[in-house]
Amino acid sequence: AQKDRIFYPEIYKSLNTYFLLILIKGILLENVLFMEKILLIGGYGFLGSNVYTALSNEYSVEVMSRFKHGGTNIQGKDWIEGNITSKADMEIVMGRGYDYVFDFVGLINEKEQKHYDVSVTGMQNIIDAIN
C-alpha cells in the first residue's frame, strides 16, 4: 500500500504534465495565427522548460526567473530577471507586451508563508501588472 501511494502520484503527475503540453501546443499552434510574444514565469522548472521547448521554435518565448539556471535549453536572449513576489518587477516585465503569460512557478520544501507569497501574492502581482 505504501508503494502505491508513492508510485501512482508520480505517474499521475507525469501524465498531467504531458497532457498539458499537448493541450497548450494544440491550442497555440492550431488556433492562434499571429502570436507575437509568450512569457513563461518559472520557466526553468520541469514543466516550464518543456513548454519552452515545445513553443520556442514556433513563437517568441521569454522566460522570467529570479536567476538564470544552467543546464537548460533556454537561450540567454530569452531570459528576463524578475521575482514574481515583487510588484515592481512584474510591472516592468509585463510592460514588454506579451500576448500570453503562463505561470509555472512552484516551490518544493519551503515554509508555508513562502508558498503563499509565491502562489497568492505572485499571482496577484501578475494580475495587477496586466491590468
| Predicted pLDDT at 71 | 56
pTM, 2 dp: 0.66
pLDDT beneath 70: ranges in the chain: 1-35, 69-73, 107-110
| Predicted pLDDT at 89 | 93
| Predicted pLDDT at 111 | 74
Torsion of the alpha carbons at 22, 90, 73 and 30, rounded to the nearest 10: 30
CATH 3.40.50.720 assigned to domain 33-130? The reply is yes
| Predicted pLDDT at 20 | 53
| Predicted pLDDT at 108 | 67
| Predicted pLDDT at 3 | 44
Domain boundaries, given as residue ranges, for the chain: 33-130
